[in-house]
C-alpha cells in the first residue's frame, strides 16, 4: 500500500499529464501570460458548468471575497455577518476593509452557519451575510436568502470548499454553490476540489452591474486600460493556471464522485462506533467532501490524531480555534462561551484523508486503525 496523504496531487496529475502538459506548452508558446485567451475560455467553461451568468477569475479565493465585498460599496463600520467556525480568510477581508465582522455560531451537525442566529444579529448597519459552505456542503441557503431579501442585505457565498456542490430549494430547483447569493466566491488553491498548480480564485454573479464592477475592481478599477473609474486591486488568474484549470474542470464531477466514494466507505466502515460522530449529509445539498470531518467525544480527539499518525495516517484539525479566540479577531464582546458549538467543535473535530486518488486498501487500513483506537478505549 502506498503511503497515505491528505491530498495526492501528483497521482492526480499523472492521470491527466498529457492534457495538462500540452495546455501548459500552448501557453508557453503563445506567451500571453496575463489575460491570455485561456482565461476567457476557462471562465466561459466554468460559467457553463455552474450555470452562473458571469464568472470573473482572480488571484485567489481570499481576493475573491475581498473584491466581492468591495463591490457592495460598504462604509467603514458596516457589519458583515459570518460563521465563527471557518477559515480565517472569510473574516480577514472584512477586517481589512474596516468593516465589522459579526460572528455567529454554527450548526453542530453540518458545521454551517446557524441561520436563526444570523437573522437575530441583523442590525441597520448590516451590509452582508457571508455563509461558508464548509467542508463541501452548502449552508442552508433558502431561509438565509429569504432573510437577506427581507432586510435588503447581500449574500456573498464563500464556496471555496464546495465548488460542484448543489443546493436544492423547496420547489426542486437546483443551484450550484456560489451561484445562489448575489456574489459567490471560490478558490483554486491546490487542496480545493478544483485545484490549480498555485493560487487562483473566481467570483460568480448573475447581476450585470455587479459583474462589471467585480471585473473592474479585480483589474485596478479600469474598464479601459489606464482609465481608472474605481479603486481596485491587482488580482488576476494567470493564463497558465487558467489553462490547467480548463483541463481539470472537465474532471471535476469525476473528482467529486471519487471523494464521495471515499466518504461513503468511511460512513459504512466507521458507522456505529461509540464516541465517534460521522459527518451529516444535509437533505438539501449534495456534499463534495473537500473534507471528511468526524467528531470525537470525551476529549479523545488529540489522542486519536496521535494514534493515527503513529500508524502512518495523516489527519488535520480544521479548525483548532474558532475566530473569536484568534488574537487578531478578539473582541471583548465575544468571551469564552459566546459560541458554544464552535468552541466544542474546535476541540472535537478531525478531518480524515479524503481525495481523488484514495484506494480501497488505504481506506480499509484507515478504518481499521480508527476502529482499533476505539476498541482499546
Ligand atoms: C481556501 C479558503 C479560502 C481562501 O482561498 P485562497 O485561495 O487560499 O485565498 C477562503 N475561504 C475558505 C472557507 C477556504 O477554505
Locate the ligand 1 atom nearest the alpha carbon of residue 62 and give its number.
9
What is the residue whose three cell numbers read 500571453?
Answer: 32
Task: Tell how far CA 359 is from the center of its chain.
Answer: 25
The SS3 assignment for 136 reads: helix
User: Are the C-beta atoms of residues 201 and 63 closer than 8 Å to each other?
Assistant: yes
Which residues lie across from 154 on neighbouring strands?
Answer: 128
Cell output for 372: 482499533
113-127 per-position pLDDT tens digit: 999 999 999 999 999
State residue 203's pLDDT score: 98
Distance of CA 178 from the midpoint of ligand 1 (Å): 13
Whether the CB-CB separation of 50 and 194 falls below 8 Å is answered with: no
Residues 65 and 24 both lie in one domain: yes
Model pLDDT, residue 155: 98
Which of 7, 61, 135, 137 for a ligand 1 pocket mutation test, highest count of atoms within 8 Å of Cβ?
A: 61
Contact 14, 363 (CB under 8 A): no
pLDDT confidence tier of residue 376, bands split at 50, 70 and 90? confident
Residue with CA nearest ligand 1 atom 6 = 61
| CATH code, 352 | 3.90.1150.10
Q: Is the CB of 351 under 6 A from ligand 1?
A: no
Domain stop point among 219, 249, 279: 249
Of 207, 204, 150, 212, nearest in space to 176 by CA:
204
Phi then psi dihedrals of residue 168, to 5 deg: -110, 120
32 and 80 in a common domain:
yes
CB 102 within 8 A of CB 120: no
Q: How many CB atoms lie within 10 A of CB 314?
A: 16
**Does the beta carbon of 258 lie inside 6 Å of ligand 1?**
no
> Does residue 189 belong to any structural domain of this protein?
yes
Residue 112 CB–ligand 1 contact under 6 Å: no
- Flag whether 14 is in a domain: yes
Across 261-267, average pLDDT: 98
The whole-angstrom separation of Cα 53 and Cα 268 is 39
Q: Please tell me if the CB atom of residue 189 comes closer than 6 angstroms to any atom of ligand 1.
A: yes
* Nearest-atom index, ligand 1, CA of 60: 7
For residues 180 and 204, give the distance between their C-alpha atoms in angstroms, rounded to a whole number. 9
Same domain, 21 and 80: yes
Closest by CA position to 277, among listed 115, 111, 104, 140: 111
118 contacts 95 by C-beta, under 8 angstroms: no
pLDDT on residue 67: 98
| Confidence band, pLDDT 50/70/90 cuts, at residue 263 | very high
**Residue numbers of the domain that contains 298:** 252-376
Residue 1 lies in a domain: no
Per-residue pLDDT, 79: 98
Q: How much distance in Å is there from the Cα of 87 to the middle of ligand 1?
A: 7
| Judgement on whether residues 364 and 225 belong to the same structural domain of the protein | no
Non-local (6+) Cβ contacts of 330 within 8 A are 324
271 and 244, same domain (yes or no): no
- Indicate if the pLDDT at residue 58 is higher than 90: yes
Task: Tell me: do 239 and 262 sit in the same domain.
Answer: no
State whether 241 and 283 are in the same domain: no
For residue 60 and ligand 1, the question of a CB distance below 6 A is answered with yes
Predicted local distance difference test score (pLDDT) of residue 145: 98
Q: Would the CB of 163 count as within 6 Å of ligand 1?
A: no
CA–centroid distance, residue 59 to ligand 1 (Å): 11
pLDDT category at 111 given cuts 50, 70, 90 is: very high
Question: What domain count does the chain have?
Answer: 2
Point out the domain boundary residue: 249, 269, 296. Answer: 249
Based on the fold, state whether residues 210 and 356 are members of the same structural domain.
Answer: no
Q: Is residue 64 part of a domain?
A: yes
Please give the distance, rounded to the nearest whole angstrom, from the Cα atom of residue 65 to the centre of ligand 1.
Answer: 9
**Omega before 319 cis (within 30°)?**
yes
- Mean pLDDT, to the nearest integer, of 304-331? 97
| Residue at 26 is within a domain | yes
**241 and 256 share one domain:** no
Regarding whether 213 and 135 lie in a shared domain, the answer is yes
Ligand 1 within 6 A of CB of 160: yes
Q: What is the number of the ligand 1 atom nearest to the C-alpha of 201?
A: 7
Kindly state whether residues 265 and 227 are assigned to the same domain.
no
Q: Indicate which atom in ligand 1 lies nearest the CA of residue 89.
A: 10
Strands (E), 154-305: 154-158, 166-168, 174-176, 183-187, 201-205, 222-224, 227-228, 276-277, 292-296
Q: What is the mean pLDDT of the chain?
A: 97
Beta-strand relationship, 126-129 and 276-277: unpaired
Q: 67, 106, 161: which to mutate for ligand 1, most atoms within 8 A of CB?
A: 161
Ligand 1, atom 10, residue with closest C-alpha: 89
* pLDDT computed for residue 363 by the predictor: 98
**CATH classification at residue 220:** 3.40.640.10
Q: Are the C-beta atoms of residues 177 and 166 closer than 8 Å to each other?
A: yes
Answer yes or no: is 2 within a domain. Answer: no
Q: Does 225 have pLDDT greater than 80?
A: yes
Q: Residue 377: its pLDDT value, please?
A: 73
Q: Are 60 and 132 in contact (CB under 8 A)?
A: no
Ligand 1 close to Cβ of residue 186 (< 6 A): no
Ligand 1: centre distance to CA 269 (Å): 30
90 lines ligand 1 (CB under 6 A): yes
Q: What per-residue confidence (pLDDT) applies to 230? A: 95
Asked if 185 and 117 touch (Cβ cutoff 8 Å), the reply is no
Question: Which residue, of 220, 249, 278, is where some domain finishes?
Answer: 249
Same domain, 239 and 268: no
- Flag whether 208 is in a domain: yes
- Say how many Å lie between the first and final Cα of the chain, rounded: 27
Verify whether ligand 1 is closer than 6 Å to residue 132 (CB atom). Answer: yes
- Kindly state whether residue 152 falls inside one of the protein's structural domains: yes
How many Cβ atoms sit within 10 Å of the Cβ of residue 195? 23
Amino acid at each position: 500500500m502506498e503511503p497515505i496523504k491528505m491530498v495526492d496531487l501528483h497521482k492526480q496529475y499523472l492521470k491527466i499529464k498529457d492534457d495538462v502538459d500540452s495546455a501548459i506548452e500552448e501557453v508557453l508558446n503563445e506567451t500571453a501570460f496575463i489575460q491570455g485567451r485561456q482565461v476567457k475560455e476557462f471562465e466561459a467553461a466554468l460559467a457553463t458548468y455552474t450555470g452562473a451568468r458571469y464568472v470573473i477569475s482572480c488571484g485567489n479565493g481570499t481576493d475573491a471575497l475581498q473584491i466581492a465585498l468591495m463591490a457592495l460599496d460598504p462604509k467603514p463600520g458596516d457589519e458583515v455577518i459570518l460563521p465563527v467556525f471557518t477559515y480565517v480568510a472569510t473574516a480577514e477581508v472584512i477586517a481589512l476593509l474596516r468593516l465589522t465582522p459579526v460572528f455567529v455560531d454554527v450548526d453542530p451537525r453540518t458545521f454551517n452557519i446557524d441561520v436563526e442566529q444570523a437573522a437575530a444579529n441583523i442590525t441597520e448597519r448590516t451590509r452582508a451575510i457571508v455563509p461558508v459552505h464548509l467542508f463541501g456542503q452548502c449552508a442552508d441557503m433558502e431561509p438565509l436568502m429569504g432573510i437577506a431579501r427581507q432586510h435588503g442585505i447581500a449574500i456573498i457565498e464563500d464556496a471555496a470548499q464546495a465548488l460542484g456542490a448543489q443546493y436544492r430549494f423547496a420547489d426542486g430547483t437546483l443551484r450550484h454553490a456560489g451561484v445562489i447569493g448575489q456574489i459567490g466566491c471560490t478558490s483554486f488553491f491546490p487542496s480545493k476540489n478544483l485545484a490549480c498548480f498555485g493560487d487562483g480564485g473566481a467570483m460568480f454573479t448573475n447581476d450585470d452591474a455587479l459583474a462589471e464592477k467585480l471585473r473592474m475592481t479585480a483589474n485596478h478599477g479600469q474598464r479601459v486600460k489606464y482609465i481608472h473609474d474605481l479603486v481596485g486591486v491587482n488580482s488576476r488568474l494567470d493564463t497558465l493556471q487558467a489553462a490547467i484549470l480548463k483541463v481539470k474542470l472537465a474532471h471535476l464531477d469525476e473528482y467529486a464522485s471519487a471523494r464521495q466514494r471515499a466518504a461513503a466507505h468511511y460512513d459504512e466502515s466507521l458507522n456505529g462506533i461509540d464516541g465517534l460522530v460521522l459527518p451529516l449529509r444535509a437533505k438539501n445539498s449534495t456534499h463534495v467532501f473537500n473534507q471528511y470531518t468526524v467528531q470525537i467525544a470525551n476529549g479523545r480527539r488529540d489522542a486519536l490524531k496521535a494514534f493515527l499518525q503513529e500508524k502512518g495516517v495523516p489527519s488535520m484539525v480544521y479548525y483548532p480555534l474558532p475566530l473569536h479566540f484568534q488574537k487578531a479577531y478578539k473582541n471583548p464582546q465575544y468571551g469564552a462561551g459566546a459560541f458554544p458549538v464552535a468552541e466544542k467543535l474546535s476541540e472535537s473535530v478531525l478531518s480524515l484523508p479524503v481525495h481523488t486518488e484514495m484506494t480501497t486498501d488505504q481506506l480499509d487500513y484507515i478504518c481499521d486503525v480508527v476502529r482499533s483506537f476505539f476498541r482499546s478505549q
